[in-house]
Structure 1
Amino acid sequence: MNQQKRLLKKSLLPSMALLLVAMTNTVSAADLPSMPGLYDPSGPKPQFSWEGAYVGAQIGAGLLASEVKSGGAKRTLKDGSAAGGVYAGYNWQFSRFVLGLETDVNLNANKKTGTVGSLGNVSTKTSWSAGIKGRVGLPIDRFMPYLSLGVAASDYQLTAKGQRKKTNVASLTLGAGLEYALTDKIHLRADYSIRGLDNKTRNFAGTAVKNTAGSQQLMMGLSYKF
């Protein structure tokens, strides 16, 4: 009997010791907090930020639409042409929103000629615009859809009955776009904007001419973020 007790002690004690060590290791491993990056030598990945200054260049298309009325005659003149320019701005990021301020200068070659009643040939033209606008964006990682609102100055020229009248017009500009960060520094975007150009009645050689005009632009831009 005593011999059996001694055999039990010799066989159970080492087994119990091994079991206790295994249980201790299991509990210790279960108690470790799950913290991504804590045990990764490279550490957690930094979060992308839209905040900062940027400059860019853009190219695309511009559309000029003018409605000319004189007496009982009326005609809409439309012309689409290539457009290009430069822009610069600054973004501030607040949690899930991005607020920005941007200025741009663009050149285009919109010109259209048509016949309007007794006026004969009438020509409309615009060649440049410059503006400043605010942007509100909703970033989704490296994508950011946005809306914009600002003020733009543009030139506008109307020619009728051999007379040419040119004005520089300031008006509201509305827009929307989608921007994508190709890298932390290089951003690609598509930007759409619309603005008013003219809404006046003028006298051409004794004939009153009512003119309403506006322009639209769809531009692809590439910018560098500092």
Structure 2
Amino acid sequence: MNKTLTASVALIALSTTAAGAADMAVKAPPPPPVPAFSWTGFYIGANIGGAWSNNRWTDTVFLTNFNNGNNGVFIGGGQIGGNYQIGQFVIGGEWDFDWAANNNNNNGVLIPGVGNIVVTNNNRWITTVAARFGWAIDHWLLYGKVGGGWVGSNNFSVTNTTTGVSFNCGTLGFSSCNNSTGGWLVGAGFEYAFAPNWTVKAEYDYLGLGNRTFSIPAGAAFGPFAGDTFTTNNRNVQMVKVGVNYLFNWGAPVAGRY
């Protein structure tokens, strides 16, 4: 009787151990951890926004300030760049190019005995090259920009809307007719990765530009403007842009694990 009971207990214990071992054998391994998002990689994208310029001209004959009226214009273009993430710190560089819509809304300045004078020198395009540095918080990136930029303008012109006479830098032999100038750039913004490899961004940029001078030849038949020199100081362009980027990164989560 004791031998039979002992054998039964041993058989039950053996069956339980075998069943437990079988259960352990069929258990699936735990899923791999979801990889952290990385900002490392190259990117290309597009942007739109607005630009505002401070660009007032002063002449030496009448000592008058002329506002060229190039304020609040639409800009649009694209950018390319690259990021490298070290921990949460992200460094990189970016080049962008934007076309600027001309907006000559200057009503001019009335000079007694001469007429209503309009000075025009609208910005046509803006390009910048800058270093980016930021702090990543998973799918968010807060960043700053430091670099330089250039602005291309249409030909400088002075128009007397009262008489219809116009003086154009491109055709009338001004002593200086350089239609592009450079300066320094600072900016800041944020970027958000909303899908694998796709991000959206918003940023503000300040572009400080150098002074410009245009001189009308002294012997020119331009009436009281012959020999006049127009100068602009403290020039700048401020931009607010939103954009989208495609990130060719090698550290982003794989599809299905975003």
User: Please, what TM-score do these two structures have when normalized by structure 2?
Assistant: 0.67
Partner of 1:184: 196
TM-fit CA distance, 1:196? 3.1
Unaligned runs of 5+ in 1: 1-38
Cα deviation, 1:189-217, whole Å, max 9, x if unaligned, reads 00221213451232133112121332122
List aligned pairs for 1:39-78, cutoff 5 A.
Answer: 41-70=30-59, 71-76=62-67, 77-78=69-70
List aligned pairs for 1:48-197, cutoff 5 A.
Answer: 48-70=37-59, 71-76=62-67, 77-112=69-104, 113-116=106-109, 118=111, 120-157=117-154, 158-161=156-159, 162-164=167-169, 165-197=177-209
Partner of 1:225: 247
User: Please, what TM-score do these two structures have when normalized by structure 1?
Assistant: 0.75
Partner of 2:214: 202
Cα distance between partner residues in 2 of 1:114 and 1:219: 28
Contact 1:73 1:117 in 2 (8 A): no
Cα distance between partner residues in 2 of 1:151 and 1:110: 22
Q: Secondary structure at the match of 2:42?
A: strand
Contact 1:48 1:184 in 2 (8 A): no
Q: Which letter maps to 2:64?
A: A
Partner of 2:255: none
Q: Secondary structure at the match of 1:107?
A: strand
Contact 2:143 2:190 in 1 (8 A): yes
Q: How many residues align?
A: 188
Cα distance between partner residues in 2 of 1:183 and 1:209: 52
Contact 1:155 1:197 in 2 (8 A): no
Cα distance between partner residues in 2 of 1:138 and 1:100: 12
Cα distance between partner residues in 1 of 2:121 and 2:212: 14
Q: Which letter maps to 1:90?
A: G
Contact 1:74 1:117 in 2 (8 A): no
Identity across matched positions, percent: 28
Contact 2:184 2:207 in 1 (8 A): yes
Unaligned runs of 5+ in 2: 1-27, 160-166, 170-176, 217-225, 249-258
Q: Which letter maps to 1:127?
A: R
